[in-house]
Amino acid sequence: MALSRATREMLGKVGVATLTNCLLKRGLRNAFMHGVQPLSFSLPNMVGEAFTLRFIPSREDVDTMATYASPEHVQRRAMEECPEGMVLVIDARGDARAAAAGDLLIGRLKARGAAGIVTDGGYRDLPGILRTGLPAYQRQTASPATPIVHHAADLDLPIGCAGVAVYPRDVIVGDGEGVVVIPARMADDVAREALDATLYEEFAEAEIAAGRSIFGLFPATEASRAEYEIWRDRKLKETP
């Protein structure tokens, strides 16, 4: 059930808001990470399967500088082990009193081919992170050193992030508004439906700008679907 290239491409073209609609139709009401924002608003959509890192609160006798330098350190291992094309999702318990990661670690993640990084905590060294070009989402900037608050506990277990369940290999999509989590087995269907809905909204936006009422247009009716299909087919012909 790995994320196919076709699904990845479709998810690159749709908005997070539209995806929440498709998930609501399937009974999922809680898939959007509230309060999580992109560092940069000018990047394309972030799309990838979830690889997870879980933090618990730090403790002064455990989280010393010595453990921090160890090759066994779980936060560092996350950066060296997150598979290519995946999104590292960090459960920081919503706590931005210390950094979930900084520019060097995120630079390594980018160099190894990750698709993005998401946390419900925050990052430090924002200019450096922006230089890496990796899509990065956080709740609030968090400059203080990680061990002041966080201890990296384990990798690739199911976690919560910003109030949403994230199971390893769920599909994570981020745009300029935020991040949504799609259960792995629903990703293909949801991507197809969302792409069609996105086109319909493009059609409707043009109609509304031209003065048409939303009644009979949004939500779609059978009649407006028929109009849309003509519009869509013409459009697809025009843009080969």
Site residues for a second copy, 115-134, by CB under 8 A, read 124-128, 131-132
* Closer residue to a second copy (CB): 39 or 115: 39
Angle, helices 74-81/103-111, rounded to nearest 10 degrees? 30
From candidates 12, 85, 93, 192, binder to a second copy by CB under 8 A: 93
CB of 182 to a second copy, least distance (A): 11
Beta carbons of 119 and 168 less than 8 angstroms apart: no
Euclidean distance between CA atoms 191 and 131, whole angstroms? 30
Euclidean distance between CA atoms 80 and 168, whole angstroms? 17
Is 76 one of the binding residues for a second copy (CB under 8 A)? yes
Is 174 one of the binding residues for a second copy (CB under 8 A)? no
Is 138 one of the binding residues for a second copy (CB under 8 A)? no
Total residue count of the chain as it appears in this document? 240
Contacts by 202-205, CB closer than 8 A, 24 or more apart: 203/227, 203/228, 203/231, 203/232, 204/228
Is 240 one of the binding residues for a second copy (CB under 8 A)? no
Window contacting a second copy (CB under 8 A); options: 5-13, 82-90, 103-111, 225-233: 103-111
Site residues for a second copy, 193-232, by CB under 8 A, read 201, 204-205, 208-211, 213-215, 218-219, 221
Residue type at position 68: Y
* Closer residue to a second copy (CB): 5 or 210: 210
Euclidean distance between CA atoms 192 and 195, whole angstroms? 5
CB of 237 to a second copy, least distance (A): 24
CB of 19 to a second copy, least distance (A): 8
Euclidean distance between CA atoms 4 and 11, whole angstroms? 11
Angle, helices 187-209/16-25, rounded to nearest 10 degrees? 120
* Closer residue to a second copy (CB): 4 or 70: 70
CB of 100 to a second copy, least distance (A): 13
* Closer residue to a second copy (CB): 5 or 215: 215
Is 143 one of the binding residues for a second copy (CB under 8 A)? yes
* Residue 209 burial (10 A CB sphere; 0-12, 13-18, 19+): exposed
* Closer residue to a second copy (CB): 215 or 238: 215
From candidates 1, 9, 26, 189, binder to a second copy by CB under 8 A: 26
From candidates 3, 14, 39, 79, binder to a second copy by CB under 8 A: 79
Is the backbone peptide bond immediately before 57 cis, with ω within 30 degrees of 0? no
Other C-beta atoms lying within 10 Å of the C-beta of residue 42: 6
From candidates 111, 223, 230, 236, binder to a second copy by CB under 8 A: 111
